[in-house]
Structure formats: C-alpha cells, structure tokens
Structure 1
C-alpha cells in the first residue's frame, strides 16, 4: 500500500511538472507570437508613414508641374520641382525637369554641378562619356564659372586612356585658362591643375610645356603670385629667365592696382553691385579687352538679374570686340537671364542682323521675345518696330516675296496690338498708331501705293486721333510729298472740322495752302469755313469758362458755409468749456509750482510769491520756453539741476502706464549709468505720458536716441535730445528723408497684421534688404504702410516690378519708389515765406488766442500798431514828435491816464 501510494505520488509529480513545462512553453510561444505581431505592426506603421509621405510628395510634384504648365517662366517653381524629384529618386523625371529649366533659364553654378555629378555617377554604370561632355559644354556657356571648368577638366582626365584622350584634356585646359585664367581670385586653381596634369604625364618632351605654363601664369596678375613664382624657382633647374622676371614684375604692378577693388569685393555683401561697377569702370579705363570681359563675367555671375549690367556688357561687345560668337552668345545669355527686359531683346535682334544671321534665326528670336512677358504695353510696340525695321531693310521692293512678308508682318502686328496687348494691359500701347504711320510711309515712298496709305490713315483717324492737329498735319505732309493737291485740300478741310486742340493752327495752314494753290472760289470757301469753325470754338470755350467759374463759385460758397459752421461749433464748445478753463489752468500752474520747488529750487516772484509766471513754464523738451529762471546755473551752483547735454526727452508713452519710472529704467539702463528719471504727473497724480532721463555721462545720449520709436506696451516711444528751442528753433528736424529715394520702395495696402519680419521675408527675394520700417499712428496701431530699403536702386526697381499688385494675406498691395511729399516748413523760424497777402502767424501759441488773452478794452480804444517813424493821420498825436509815436519795433507807445481821458471824451 505504501509502495503503491509512493508510486502514485511520484507519477502525480511528474504529470504536474510536465503540465507546468507545457504551460511555460505555451506562454513563451504566446510571447513570441505577440513580439512577432508587434514587429509586424511596427513595420506596417513605418510603411504606412512612408507611403503617406510619398503620396504627399507626389501630390506636390503634380502641383508644381501643373503650375509650370501655366507659367513656364516661374524660376522658383523649377528649383522646387528639381529638389523634390531628386529627393524622391525620380531619375527620368529629374532629367526632364532639369532639361526643361535649362532651356528657359541659365542654371546657376550649384545647379549645374549637382546635375553634372549625378550624370557622372550614372556613366560609371553606362559607359557613355560623350553625353557628359555635351552637358559640360552647355554648362560652361551659361556663366564663367572656374569650378565648372575644373570639374570638366578633371572628368576629361578620366578619359585619357581613350584615343586622343590626352589631346582632349589639354584642349579643355587651354579653353579653361582662356575663359577663367584671368580670374583674379580663382584663376590660379585652373593654372595649378593644368600644371599638375602635365607633371603627371611628364616626359623629356613635356618639360617645355610646364615651363610655358609657368611663364604664361606669371605674366597674369593673380592673387598669391608670390607662391607661384617661388614654386617656379624651386622647380626650374636653371633659375627663372630674365624675361619671365620682367613679365612677373609687370603683373605684380597690375595686381597692386587691382588689389583695392578685390579687397572691396571680399568685404562687401552680395550682390556687390556697386563694387563690381567701380571695378568695371577701372578696367574700361585700363583698356585691356580680356580683363574687361572677365570682370563683366564675374559681376554677372552674382548679378545675373540686373538688366543694366547686361546692357552695358553687350554694348561694349557690340562696339569694341565685335566677335560674332562671343557677341551673339552673350546676347542670348542676357535675354535668358532677364527675359522681361525689352531693350535686351531689341539689342539681340540688331546684333543678329549685324552679324548676318539667317532670317529663320532672327524670326525665332523675335517669337521668343513676344512670349517673354514684358511689363508694359509700349514694350511690345518697340519690339514690333525693331522686327519690322529688320524686315523692311531686307526687302527688295522690286521683288514681291519679301514685300508680301513685310505687309503680312505689319498686319499681324496690328492684330497683336488689338487683341493680345489690349486684353492684357487694357490699352493698346500705341495710341498714336506709330506702326500704322510707318506702314503708310513705306507704302507711299517705296511702293507708290497712295491708296493703301490713305486707307491706313483713315484707320488711324478713326482710332481717336482725329481731334489732334499734329496727326492731320502729318497726313497732310504725306499727301504733299507723295499725293496730290485734291487730297491735300480734303485733308485740311477735315482737319479744320475735327481738330479740337489747336484749331487756329490748322486754319492757318489751310489758308496758306489756298494762297499758294487755290482759286478765288477755294479761298472764299476756306475763309468762310475757318471763320465758322473758330466762332463755334470760341463759343464753346466761353461756355466752358462760364461753367468752370460757376463751379468755382459754388465751391467757394460751400467752403464758406463749412467755415462758418466750424466757427459756430468752436464758439459753442468754448462757451461750454469756459467755466472749466480757468480751473484747469490754475491746476496746471499749481502742478508746475510743485515740480519747480522740488527740482529747480529757485523761483521768480512777481506779486504773489506762490504763483510761477508763464514766462518760465517748461516746454515739452524739458527746457524753458522763454528765458532761464533767475539763479539757474547748470552743473555749477546747482549740481542737482538737470544737465541737458546728458539728458533725453521721452514722450508718447501711454497715460495708463503703470510704474513709468521702472519702465523707463528698464528701457534705458542698457545705454549707460542713469542719474535721474523724472516722469511728469498732473496735480491729481495721473501720468502725462512724457518724462526726462538724465545719464551720468553725455556719451549715453546717442545710445538712448537709438531707442527712438521702440515699442513700449504697444506704443512707439519718441526719444529726442534736450535742446533749448530759443537757441535752436529748428532742432525738431524730421528724421526721415523727404526727397525721392531710388533705393527705397513705399508699400501701401498692407494688412494690419503684417510684421517687419514677414515683409522682410517677402522683399529679400528681390534684393538685399537693409531696413524695413512699418508706419504707425502715435498709438502704435499700423497704418498699412511701409518703407523697405534695398542695397541699391536697381534692386528697388526690380522689387517694384515684381511686388506691385501681389497679394499679402488677402490684401493687394501697391509698390512704388519712395517719393514722400515735401513737409511744410512755412512756420519754422528762418524758413522762407511766400510773398503776397499771406499774413504772419500771430504769436498766440499753438492753438491761437485763448479766452483769457482777449483784451478787456472796448474796440474803440484799441490802438493800431504803426511802424517806427509814422504817426496817425500824418502827424504825431497831441503834438508829440513823430519819433515818439512808436518805438523802434513798431509797438504803440505807453498811454497815460490823460490819454485815456481824452479818448473817452472824443467817443
């Protein structure tokens, strides 16, 4: 029994252990399944995130492609699309996007190098080096870039093993040193790479090549020439030849001349337009064509969107170098960089004709110009004129083919002006119909087809030009030269009937014509017609003058009514406030008395010792308005008094400002040690919104003035120096320029929520922004106006063209060159006053004569001020001499009690 029970217990233990093991294995398997499921879930999440990113990127790519299909000339859109396609690894679409952009714009050095490096990596798997060579050839034509030339030469070295490989590398290096070898700062890298290549393939026959490279490089002014010369001395076994030393010294002298310009470029900020312009002017005076060309190229690599720079460069090439390939390639680059500039397209067409380009090429360039997107309607008129002039010059008027092409072009230009230009700009751009006038002259002069010329002039007159005398006289002169007297007479009679600007002149021409060629009947008819027309014109002018006079009289009457209503309103307000005026003035005088007793110490006594006079009331700058109080000595007897050389006046603070002294200390403590802060309060203890800051040293004042218009609780604070107005009446000079500022733009229509940072971000795409100023009210609320200052006037002009009319947070803004109206300085002391009836301003204060300043004497007792040396009625009053009638300043003399008695008796 015991044995069986032990066996049963042992069997039970084994079964329990087995069950426990099975449970552990099941738990482990469950955990593994859970872990596996977790891994799978995380992978799925990552896949979901990546798929969402891909969808977002694809949607953005499609949006950019659609935008480019609408406006292919959106440069930034091209750049964003290329970046996104490269990020997604879309090789085929990336190539296509880069290709499309390069067809429309010259690519920057960074974009080209990025593209070239991608293609070089791909050719390692696809051994097709010729495609990369072709791409390099396109790249070096856009800009003169030393880094691209170096990359080109290094890539060609990899093909040295192919037939003719060494010669190809050497040819590329030669082209590189020709193109960028004169580059003052980067040309040396190209020369050194060329020498290293020759050293790599060094043999006995190659030594002379390396000598030649050293000699050529040392004859060119480059930075760090001394190092190259030392290297040549070390490399050459027989020393440096005398001729090389002589050329080297000349190059060093030239480099010293150029060094100031190079140093100016090093420290200047991009785009360095002014520095490059000075450099170009210097090289133009020196007269070395190669150096002039490389300087222009360097300037344009950083200022490729400046049309004036391209125009100056192409003009130089057209007039001086005249090399066909160089001239035409530069013109092409100019219009690709600045396609919106009509003048560059016009110069391009002339250059093509000048260098004998075929007709199809000129026509293709003209079609591209029409699609470039000029900024004004007159640009299209000018480009059409340039093309029509070209077509006229190639016409042999004995042959019909070119003539028909010319006529078809004239007809197309008129249709283009009527439909495309008017729909886009709302105006024809050619109101005087210059193109039609030229066509009419060509038909009359070259084709002897006056019928067609008359048809054209009929069309010109129906387009609103019949009222202008000069248009009729132009047509009359055409008939006089190529027509007959019958049509001349018809033209003049129509001119007399239709002209409204100078009818007298047209009538005079008609009468002169009849004197020479007309019969008596023609003369009588002309006289009758001109008299009738002039009488009608005079009647119309009289009616117009009467109507204008009536309108002016009505306006004067309305102005008088408004003036009377304003006077009545003011009088009513004065009556309502009259009872409070004296109390307020008394309270202000008491406030000042307390401040003067505390801060200034001495008082002036006049009658009542407790009442300070208005003569010493403080002005808003903290000084005394009329005279310094007795005993006032600055920093001498009274060291506690304010030293105005080390003080500033702070105003436009909020009246509700809590603890103004603490606020002012926090604002100005960075300017230097503060000696005293004195905010001004009313008698009731409320803050008046201004105060004074006195520093320990005057050197702190300029730093404090820099805080002018700093925002304090939503209001711009005005900080000004403490200056005696009596000694410096014009010290409050407006701090901003009131003349035209071509480097600054004025923006209106901004949303009130627009900040300086947002506006700077919008403006920096068009140039270097030096300062942004938002115009606000005194309360700090924005007016929706701003000024943006650029580095130069060219950038400001481009900003006007690109920013005018754009929307900012739903507001359409207007942009123009800053040209503020002149400020009215007529009331400033010392300023020029208009002559005539203008009366001098009375010295009654800023708001005119107050109620308490009115005289209490009857009007009959008022004495008029008379100039010195004059008396009433031609003689001195009461038998006094004329000199006693008034003082030297023209003031009335002091009257005695007897004088007043005589006046009263005579009333």
Structure 2
C-alpha cells in the first residue's frame, strides 16, 4: 500500500483537529447544562477512555488472530467494523486492503470503503486512485449500486479534459453490465439520461439567438443521443417501463417511431414472462437459492445469453459461497459464450469465493489452457490451488492429475528429449512426494490408493518414450504399496507388458499375479491358462496348470475355513436371538392370561348388574341410540338402506362392517368360480390409488387378444386390493399377456403371472431370473437412484456388446440402486468388472461383480420345482474377497420336512398348518422325523402361547 500524500495527511490532520475541537466544545456545554460540574465531566472522560482501551485491546486481539489465520473471514469483518467505529482511518484502509487481497468484498463493504475514500480525496490529483478502487469493486460482483456510485462519481470530473467522454464510457459499461437487471436497471438508465440532458442544456443556444452551423450539429447529435437512450431502454424488459414510455411520448416532438413501439411491446411480453420469478424473489427470504435456480433454468430455456448472464450474476451476489452455482455458471460460459475475458474472470472469481472446491480450480486450469494462457499463468494458478486448503485427500490427487495432463499435452514426444518432457517427469516425481509427505501427514491417508498417477506415468513412459525399464520400476513400486492382492492391478500391468513389453515379462507378471491375488484369483488363473494356450510350450502349460491348481486349492481351503467361522458365529447369534424371543413370548403369554382372567371377571360382574330397567333408553334421532340408524340384515345392509321389516340383529351395528366384508368375499368367490384359469392371467402389485383400474387394464391388455372381462379383488369398502385377473376369449392371448410382466403402470411395476396351481405344475418358475452364477452378466450396486437404463448402457457400452440392462426396483417402482447388465460373453463381462468397479457415477462410487445371487431356499416352498442339488452353491467370497454365505436364521431343532400341499387359491398354494406343538418340544411328526414349518405355523405358535 502506498504511503499517503501530503494533501491527504493535511486533510486527515484537519479532520482530527476539528473532531478534537468539537469534543472540547461538547464537554464544555455538558458542564454548563443542568448544573453539572467538573466531576461529571471527569467521569465521562474516564468512561470514554475505558471504552477506547477495551476497543483497542479487541483490535489488537483481532490483528493477532489474523496473523495466525489470515483466511478468517469473520475476523476481517469484525476488525473493519471496530476500526471504523474508532476512526482509525489509516489502519482501516490497511485492513480493507488485506481483506480484499484474500476475499471478494460484499457490496456493503465496498460501498463503505468507496464513500470513505471519496470523502478523503476531494482534489483532482487523487481521483485516479478512487477510479482504480472502483475498477476493483466492479470486478468482484455485478452490483447495480456500485456501478451507479461509480458513474455519479465520474460526473464530478466531467469538467476536466475528456471528462464527458469518460463519464459516457463508464455509463456504457454500466448499462452493459447491469442494464438488464429487471428491478434495479431502470435507475441506471435514468441516471444516464439525466447526464445527457445536463449536457444538452450546455449546448443549447440562448433563447432568441440563431445557432451557428457547428452549434446546430452539436445540438442535433446530443438530441440523437437522448433518443437512442430512450429506444435502447424501451427495448429492455424492466419494471415500471410504462412510465418510461409515457415520458418518451411527452419528450419526443414527432411521437414514438413504429419500430420503437414494436420493440417496446416485445419487451413487455418478456417482462410478463419473468414477472412471476421476480415476484417470487421479492417475497422470498435471503439467500433465495431455490428461487434463483428456477429463474436461471427459465432463462436457460429462453436462450438469451445476456439475460442468462445477468440472472447468474444476481444469484451469485447473494449466494457467493455456493460452489454448485459457480460450477453451473462457468460451465455455461465455457460451452456457450466462450469469450476469453469473461470466462477467465468468472473462473477467477469462482475460486476466490470458494477456494476449498477442487472442481472449480480444475475447471479454471482447463479454461486457461483452452484460451491459450501463457505457461507461467497456468503454473501460478496451480500453485494457488495447492495452497487453497481442500477438504479431502482425493482432491489433491485430482488437481495434480489435471496439472499433469496439461504438462503432458505440452510435450512433443517426437523428440527424444526436450525441456517440456523433463518438466513433466519432474512434476510426476514432485506429485508423488507431495502426496506422500504433505497429504498423508494431513489426512492420514494417501488419497491415491490405486496409484493412478504412477500408472499414468508408466503408460506415458512405455507408450510415448519407449522406456519399458522405467515403466517396470514404477509398477514394482505400485505393487509394493499394497496393490499386489488385486487382480485388476496385475491385469493392468499384464496389458502394459503385452502392448509394449515382451512375452517373458508377460509370463512373469501372470505367475506373480496367480501367487499374490486374493480378491479374484479364478480370473487371473484363467488369464494365465489362456496366455499359455496362445504363446506357451507344453512345459509352460504344465507349469501353469500345476501352479493354478495349487493356488486355487489353497484359496478354497481358506474360504471354507472363513465360511465355517462365519457360520459358527451366526449360529451363536441365532441361539441368543432365539432365547430372547422365547423369553418375550412367555412374558407376553403370561400377561395375556392375566388380562383374560381380569376381563372375564369384569364381564361376569357387568352381566350380573344388567337389567331391563338399567338399560339405556333408545330414542329416535339420537345418533348412536337410534335403531333406524344401526340395523344389520342378512344382505349386509343396515340403517336406512335396510329392507322394511328388518330388525337389529343380536350383534347390532358392531357386526355391520363384518357383514359387508363377508358380502364382498362372497362376491369375489362367485366371480372366481366363473373364471376360466386357462384363459386368464393373474395381475398384482397395482397401486391402490389407481384411478379406473379396470379401464386401464383393458387398454394395456387389448393388444394381446380379445378380453372377456377384468376382475379386480376389492376389500370390504369396495377399494381395490391391488391385484386381480384378466380373462381373455382364448388361451392364445395368455403368452402375449405374460410378456407385459414388470411393465410400469403409473411408476409402479405390474406383475403378470399365469393362473396355475404351483403344486401341480413343477415347471412353473417361482422366480423369474436365474439364481446361479452367470459369468456373462455383471451385478452393479451403489448406483444413484436417478440413473436410467439408457445412462447405464452408455457407461457399460465401451466394454462390450450389451444384450440386456435390468434395473432392480422395489415393489413400489422406486429404484434400489442395483442393476444387472448382460454381455455377449464372459470375457466382456470380466473386463467390465475390472474397468467399472469403483468408478464414480454422478458422485456415487459403484461396486461391480460377476452376477452370483445368493442361494434361494426354493425347496421350502410348495410351488418350487427345483431340487436342492440343481442350485449352484454360493461362493464363500464375493468378487472383492468378502464372505457372502447365506445363513439360515432358523434353529436346527425346528427344521422339518415340507407339509403336504394344501388348497390352491388365487394362483398360490395355501398351506394348512398343523396344530402348534407344546412349548419346549421339538415338534417331531409321528415318524420322529423333523418337518419344515411355514410362516403361519410360527405365527400360531407365538399367538397361542
């Protein structure tokens, strides 16, 4: 900061002397008023001095705190407020200067600073410093009030040479920047016109004198400027623009031109479109983020770049600490406007407001490269990014990768050696040291566990520099950092050797992979055998087979031990849960028995006291006591709807609802008896709130064949239960109808299945999809709920030919974040697992494995046709090495043989549960063999205890 000039020092001294003189006068007046003496004056001085001491101590504390942490924003604000309160002008200027170097200042801070500086610099020689301060202020945010203050201040210097042109230049920049501001832009336009009207008064000749030719030209030019300002303003949608139009009509001698009227009406239409968004902003509470988001989306659809820009700027003035808003704005500028000065200045403002956001720095570096910035500027921005203080270790890895990508693009690899290549290698080496020393010490983790930077370096050395020796050294370093147990790391190294190395090192890498891999050894063994089939001799083949068999046997033993340990642990937990369950059931049974005895005693007492005289009298029109209102009949009708002559039954109104339920059930049973199951399909999982479901089902199934009728099962109130039947004229339509299974109906999957007896049709599939391992299909978890089938197909398409994509959903139709993707063959699926596992999809880290669903206990279900031996056993470990054994939560003592199938109803087998066994028994049958129990068995066991 430059030292103050002599004129400034003189002004400051005069202000301080005047302030001291004023204080003395006020002290003297206070002594004379109301008879107050010298003692009161001394007390006031003591209080004032104490306040000054306290404020000075607080100022020193804040300055000391800022010396420790210069990025404490609130501390800067508090210090500026205190210094302004104390009148410490030089220290106040210094504090503001330091804060502006680190942070963008708000509109209020800038206006206070500018007004203070304007009061201090009345001389023309110091106006340039104020101009420089205004130029800094308008760069932080696009604020109409700052631009208006800037333009009005410049009017004070219009008497100097070139002053009028300078004022016009500032006004033009102002209306370009904020003239489209719908609520505040009009003030700026009017100030511009007032300035031009003031200039017009200076060029008009005195009344009665004929102007010269030069004076007439100046007058005409000035009038045309004002006309142009009116036309430009009326073409912009602004609040209260009708007043401006009326003013132009009055001012213009020849009326308003037709072209201006056309532009004015068009602007009025645009204002009406934006009016609702502006009104929402007026009534909303700051920071109005949701309202601005809606406004921005509207302007993006409209497609006017100038209006999009001003809307973004208005939103950022109130939401400057929202990184997503800056990202959206900079992305729009990068892809749409592509104006160098605007793009780079906005990126710079973004990282100044949100320096902790790595993605903003990364976009800034790419924008600098895209617009041809010099190498030193890019390097300086990168160094600032390293000191910005990111919140996680992976951010440093990504910013280093962005810088390394930039340096790699500068290298001309056709030359064996160059300055750029040496700089790239030095940057790779520095990045590894930085991540190891600085990042690991700060976060306690590397941020790059898979050594992605070293992998890229090795690729560059092998591909561009033909230096396989350096590439192998880097891969040895990668494997020593805990990556030797992962199959994908070994296969990545193998592919590098395959492309740029030799067969000897390929074989050596695969043998080491078989020995070290623990997460997916089967795949590595398969790759080794395939390699020897193509490249090796018989001796190489024998060695590979022996090594893979030995390794897989050892792995299977380890998995078996781990599975046994997990099973024992689970069994122990089951026994504990069973003991707690029995204790709760016994406690509940005891409580129930005590409650039953108590109710029985109360009922006996109540019936003994009941007499005809003590019974409450029933009166007509009295609500609950009106027999006409509550009457039960055989048809389930009661009240005024009952047939004449019926009397209330013994159950009274209490059984009315049960009667209607029985009637509804009888109606459903009658319909079931009339249905032909061979021509029908069973529909389920429909939404209860589906409007006119029968009409919608007819519309859905009419393409399958002629429909005889649609039957929906309803409850006692006539409300759909979400399932029913569609009966066709012929059985030929059923296969076509089954193809509509899982079709989405108002956001919910509809289940379609044949009307068959599952116990008498073994070929009927209980589960639609395969439950065994499918090596050509991958299972993906951790997907964002917004991910669609098309988006997932685009992600997987680069890794092979896709046959099918299936998103797993709940019965309600909401996604679970899981999916299955079927490829043409096993190789493509394996490559997809290696390439896709762990990648980010819309901020979610996904997990990918070969499809191997958990074993389903189908033999326990009467409708199951698959024997236990046909089901492939689940692997003890998944693709990432974790145990996935499926454990039964039922104690062994309760396992029993399946019960004989019961009556078939609604396409499902209904089981008849045997009487519950006595407490503590093993529930063995007559032959002494254990028998499997159904869910209803357990329910009765608990309820009857």
- TM-score tier by shorter-chain length is 0.5 to 0.7
Question: 1:257 Cα deviation (Å)?
Answer: 3.0
Match of 1:160 in 2: 158
Match of 1:647 in 2: none
Match of 2:321 in 1: 305
1:340-380: CA deviations, max 9, x gaps?
22221111111000011111111121122222222322222
RCO comparison, higher one (Cα < 8 Å, 6+): 2
Q: Distance in 2 between matches of 1:509 and 1:366?
A: 42
- Choose which of 289, 293, 313 in structure 1 pairs with 2:309: 293
Question: 1:604 Cα deviation (Å)?
Answer: 13
TM-score by length of 1: 0.60
Question: 1:573 Cα deviation (Å)?
Answer: 7.5
Q: Give the secondary-structure state (helix, strand or coil) at the position aligned to 1:161.
A: coil
Question: Contact 1:440–1:452 (CA<8 Å) still a contact in 2?
Answer: yes
Q: Distance in 2 between matches of 1:586 and 1:71?
A: 82
- Choose which of 427, 434, 448 in structure 2 pairs with 1:409: 427
Q: Distance in 2 between matches of 1:40 and 1:549?
A: 93
Structure 2 residue 355 is the aligned partner of structure 1 residue 367: no
Question: 1:602 Cα deviation (Å)?
Answer: 8.2
- Choose which of 138, 141, 146 in structure 2 pairs with 1:140: 138
- Choose which of 478, 481, 484 in structure 2 pairs with 1:460: 478
Question: 1:511 Cα deviation (Å)?
Answer: 1.6
Structure 2 residue 529 is the aligned partner of structure 1 residue 531: no
Q: Distance in 2 between matches of 1:591 and 1:104?
A: 89
Question: 1:483 Cα deviation (Å)?
Answer: 1.3
1:68-104: CA deviations, max 9, x gaps?
3343333222222211221122222222221222222
- Choose which of 175, 181, 193 in structure 1 pairs with 2:173: 175
Question: Contact 1:143–1:297 (CA<8 Å) still a contact in 2?
Answer: yes
| Unaligned residue ranges in structure 1 (runs of 5+) | 1-32, 606-626, 633-724, 731-833, 839-865, 873-907
How do residues 549-588 of structure 1 correspond to structure 2 at under 5 angstroms? 549-566=567-584
How do residues 538-549 of structure 1 correspond to structure 2 at under 5 angstroms? 538-549=556-567
Match of 1:666 in 2: none
TM-score by length of 2: 0.58
Q: Number of paired residues?
A: 602
Question: Contact 1:146–1:190 (CA<8 Å) still a contact in 2?
Answer: yes
Q: Structure 2 vs 1, CA of residues 591 and 67 (structure 1 numbering), >3 Å: closer, same or farther?
A: farther
Match of 1:71 in 2: 69
- Choose which of 189, 194, 197 in structure 2 pairs with 1:196: 194
Question: Contact 1:603–1:629 (CA<8 Å) still a contact in 2?
Answer: no
- Choose which of 402, 422, 440 in structure 2 pairs with 1:386: 402
Q: Structure 2 vs 1, CA of residues 501 and 597 (structure 1 numbering), >3 Å: closer, same or farther?
A: farther
Q: Structure 2 vs 1, CA of residues 545 and 90 (structure 1 numbering), >3 Å: closer, same or farther?
A: same
Q: Distance in 2 between matches of 1:586 and 1:436?
A: 87
Q: Distance in 1 between matches of 2:319 and 2:607?
A: 65
Q: CA RMSD in A?
A: 4.1
1:15-65: CA deviations, max 9, x gaps?
xxxxxxxxxxxxxxxxxx9x9999444334333322332232233223333
Q: Distance in 1 between matches of 2:253 and 2:132?
A: 41
Q: Distance in 2 between matches of 1:189 and 1:604?
A: 75
Q: Distance in 2 between matches of 1:506 and 1:547?
A: 27
How do residues 77-476 of structure 1 correspond to structure 2 at under 5 angstroms? 77-124=75-122, 127-202=125-200, 203=203, 204=216, 205=218, 206-397=222-413, 398=415, 399-476=417-494
How do residues 780-859 of structure 1 correspond to structure 2 at under 5 angstroms? none
1:284-305: CA deviations, max 9, x gaps?
2332222222222122222222
Q: Distance in 2 between matches of 1:249 and 1:602?
A: 68
Q: Give the secondary-structure state (helix, strand or coil) at the position aligned to 2:447.
A: coil
Q: Distance in 1 between matches of 2:859 and 2:523?
A: 38
Question: 1:596 Cα deviation (Å)?
Answer: 10
Q: Give the secondary-structure state (helix, strand or coil) at the position aligned to 2:389.
A: coil
Question: Contact 1:377–1:427 (CA<8 Å) still a contact in 2?
Answer: yes
Match of 1:889 in 2: none
- Choose which of 502, 507, 512 in structure 2 pairs with 1:484: 502
1:852-897: CA deviations, max 9, x gaps?
xxxxxxxxxxxxxx9899999xxxxxxxxxxxxxxxxxxxxxxxxx
Q: Distance in 2 between matches of 1:574 and 1:52?
A: 76
Match of 1:717 in 2: none
Q: Distance in 2 between matches of 1:218 and 1:558?
A: 81
Which has the larger displacement, 196-205 or 395-404?
395-404
Q: Distance in 1 between matches of 2:378 and 2:609?
A: 85
Question: Contact 1:218–1:247 (CA<8 Å) still a contact in 2?
Answer: yes
Question: Contact 1:596–1:603 (CA<8 Å) still a contact in 2?
Answer: no
**Which protein has the larger Cα radius of gyration, Structure 1 or Structure 2?**
1
Q: Distance in 1 between matches of 2:610 and 2:320?
A: 65
